[in-house]
Amino acid sequence: MKTHLPLQDAYLLAVKRENAPVTIYLRNGFQLRGYVRGFDNFTIILEYDNKPHLVYKHAVSTVSPQAPVQFSGSDLTSNAAGNSAPRPQANAETSSASNADGAPHSVSS
């Protein structure tokens, strides 16, 4: 059975999978730089200074990778076993997406 991952989970999963260095901007203005090692509904495990740190999502303003991360619609769909389900790759020029009410719209790169 296929389920849809929340967008933040799919994004954090892509950053974690690529082992991309990220900067996490906190609401109080502090910046944390490191690698996402795990996450759940409320927290992110960020490794920096060779130690894991538990960061609460309610304190996070922005998660910004230091390099581009490959992030596609296939990251949003998983099967019941928790594995990403394969989906066809979108054209590099345009891809199909839907807005909040489910109606399709075109997104240009």
Which CATH number fits the domain that encloses residue 8? Answer: 2.30.30.100
Total number of domains in the chain: 1
Mean per-residue pLDDT for 86-103? Answer: 41
Q: Which residues pair with 31 in a beta bridge?
A: 25
Q: Which amino acid is present at 88? A: P
CA distance 18 to 52: 18
Q: Which residues pair with 105 in a beta bridge?
A: 97
pTM flag (> 0.75): no
pLDDT at 101 over 90: no
Residue 80 forms part of a structural domain: no
Burial per residue of 93-108, b for 16 or more beta-carbon CB atoms within 10 angstroms, e otherwise: eeeeeeeeeeeeeeee
pLDDT digits (tens, 9 = 90+) for 53-82: 999 999 999 999 999 888 776 666 654 444
Question: Domain span at residue 43?
Answer: 1-66
